[in-house]
Amino acid sequence: MLLQIVVLLTLVGVVTWGILRWIAGTPALLTDVKACRGNWAEARLRHCEGELAVTGIPVEPFNTFSNLAYIAAAWVVWQTFPGLPAVVLAASLVLLGIGSSMYHGTKAMWAARMDHAGMYAVFGSLAIYCVAPTDPAMPYVMFSGAAAFAIGFAFVAPGDLNARMGLLLALLSIRGFLTGRILLSGLSLGFFALAFTAWQLDRRTTVLSRFGHAIWHLFTAIAIVLMFAAILASDY
């Protein structure tokens, strides 16, 4: 599987670079760009404000390509876990990887919405799965719910992303502990906690240099896979 992941990530990375090059030459897609959007350390270290600013796309290279972690997570989910729910989660992770890479690559508002849509799709589909994981219709309900969460909360009614994600994660972890998979649930929450710590440090300091938000991407990708393993209705 490792070789497959390396080949996959190489291909996706090349395609991502190509898409960003195309966007760079398409002014209509760059009408609402703010290099400092999000206040991430990598942008600040590239002097996103002022005459010393390092311009160009990708705006934040490390933050952009660290989203390959979500593509790797999607592959692991698809290859490891049985059933259509895993396919829905894998698709949601791909959306998150693409959306977040476009956001950090361009810092355009439309890309920020795509990033949020991916997060809502992932956590929304997982939360819906917890309602009735053994129901035969669940994969289709998950897919519909992922679309509804992504469109509704990222585009129609944006709100406090952190509060919504925290609530969904809390609901997921309850099922994880109730299934008896305490270690997996605990590890998942631990990776989420470390990721959120890196996220906070990255926005407020440069103690993690340009890698703080990249750590967030990597650790949340791992945490999502672990949480799905914890809430599955069957053994794998």
CA 116, 121, 122, 125 dihedral sign is: positive
Average pLDDT value over all residues in the chain: 94
**Is a pLDDT exceeding 90 seen at residue 51?**
no
Q: Which residues contact 87 (CB under 8 A, 6 or more apart)?
A: 78, 139
**22 contact partners, CB below 8 Å, separation of at least 6:** none
Q: Per-domain residue ranges for the chain?
A: 2-231
Nearest-angstrom CA–CA distance, 38 and 213: 11
Name the pTM for this structure. Answer: 0.95
Pick the CATH number of 2-231 from 1.20.1150, 1.20.1070, 3.40.50, 1.10.150: 1.20.1070
Q: Where are the alpha helices (DSSP H) in the chain?
A: 2-24, 41-45, 61-65, 68-80, 84-106, 109-131, 138-151, 161-178, 182-204, 212-231
137 has a pLDDT exceeding 60: yes
**For the ranges 37-51, 64-78, 122-136, which has the lowest average pLDDT?**
37-51
Euclidean distance between CA atoms 178 and 192, whole angstroms: 19
Which residue did the predictor score with more confidence, 38 or 233? Answer: 38
- Of the pLDDT bands very low, low, confident and very high (cuts 50, 70, 90), residue 1 is confident
